[in-house]
Amino acid sequence: MAGTAVVTGASSGIGAATVRRLVKDGFDVVAVARRADRLLQVAEETGARVGCLDITDTEAVRRFAGELDTCDLLVNNAGGALGADSVATGSVDDWERMFSVNVLGTLRMTQALLPLLRDGAGGTVVTITSTAAFTAYEGGGGYSAAKAAERALSETLRLELCGEPVRVIEVAPGMVRTEEFALNRLRGDAGKAAAVYEGVDHPLTADDIAECVALAVGLPQHVNVDQLVVRPLAQAAQHRLHRGPLMNRKNEH
């Protein structure tokens, strides 16, 4: 599959890595994000087109969609977590922001581009959720709730598009180490952000997730990967994380 791809949250992390990977696969990629300077760097590096856009602005999203002639692939990647407080003490503003970007941003982009995705031999919607979408954890109530809602959106969309040539794919990563995710979540505290990954033997990278997107998208159009859950080998589940080197038991005596 190739054609025109739109990737949100494309100025860094998983979004930027996905832009690079899809350009490599021959897509005409429109990289979407708020930060024009970072976005231009990605565009200069990859040759992608730029869509400087805040996906929490409904009218701006509609104008953006109206400027496109075609769209064969939408990657809903923009999102993130804010805060690690309990439900009892969590900030309502943080919860609102997480829902506005993760859930409603995905809804706005999907609604705006769905006519173009339906108009052709076949379109694909990929949404990057999280393993937090189906396993809650202490301090992650807002993020888990937002990602669960995003997952429900994807599952519902797949049902509603049954019979049409549009694939709906969810990629749900576990621990991914990027330059900004934990730092943003923990209010810029570099020490706390580093501690999240401390001792973990090879957390996933943004490039790993981009490879998963490319794998799912690159399958024949009649093949739909409903949900692809991907974790580092050191993370067996949301609450089962090994810190320290991965050991070869064969060599133990």
Q: Is the pLDDT of residue 1 over 80?
A: no
Quote the tokens at residue 236. Answer: 């067996």
The pLDDT, as a whole number, for residue 170 is 98
Q: Is 237 helix (H, G, I), strand (E, B) or coil?
A: strand
Q: What mean pLDDT comes out for the span 99-103?
A: 97
Quote the tokens at residue 129. Answer: 């959720």
- Are 218 and 180 spatial neighbours (Cβ–Cβ below 8 Å)? no
Its pTM stands at: 0.94
Residue 65 lies in a domain: yes
The pLDDT, as a whole number, for residue 193 is 77
DSSP state of 176: B
Residue 116 lies in a domain: yes
State yes or no: is 143 an active-site residue: yes
Q: In sequence order, what are the residues at sequence separation of 6 or more whose Cβ sits closer than 8 angstroms to the Cβ of residue 55?
A: 8, 32, 61, 78, 101, 105, 108, 109
| Stretch among 87-101, 138-152, 188-202 having the lowest mean pLDDT | 188-202
- What is the domain range of residue 193? 4-243
What is the residue-averaged pLDDT of the chain? 94
Q: What mean pLDDT comes out for the span 105-128?
A: 96
DSSP percent split of the chain into helix, strand, coil, nearest 5: 45, 20, 40
CATH number of residue 11's parent domain:
3.40.50.720
DSSP state of 119: S
| Rounded Cα gap, residues 17 and 7, in angstroms | 10
Residue 204 lies in a domain: yes
- Are 169 and 124 spatial neighbours (Cβ–Cβ below 8 Å)? yes
Residue 11 lies in a domain: yes
> Hey, CA dihedral for 242, 17, 195, 150, is it positive or negative?
negative
Looking up tokens 């690159």 gives 218
| Rounded Cα gap, residues 223 and 218, in angstroms | 10
Residue 252 lies in a domain: no
Please name which of 27, 67, 70 lies closest in space to residue 46, comparing C-alpha atoms: 27
| Rounded Cα gap, residues 129 and 152, in angstroms | 10
Q: Is the pLDDT of residue 176 over 60?
A: yes
| Rounded Cα gap, residues 111 and 102, in angstroms | 14
- Domain count for the chain, please give it: 1
Quote the tokens at residue 173. Answer: 């990563």
Q: What mean pLDDT comes out for the span 216-225?
A: 97
Q: Is the pLDDT of residue 183 over 80?
A: no
Q: What mean pLDDT comes out for the span 43-72?
A: 97
Residue 248 lies in a domain: no
Q: Is the pLDDT of residue 253 over 70?
A: no
| Given 27, 64, 95, 143, the catalytic residue | 143
Q: What mean pLDDT comes out for the span 147-167?
A: 98
Residue 52 lies in a domain: yes
pLDDT band at 223 (very low <50, low <70, confident <90, very high): very high
Residue 43 lies in a domain: yes
* Type of residue found at 112: A
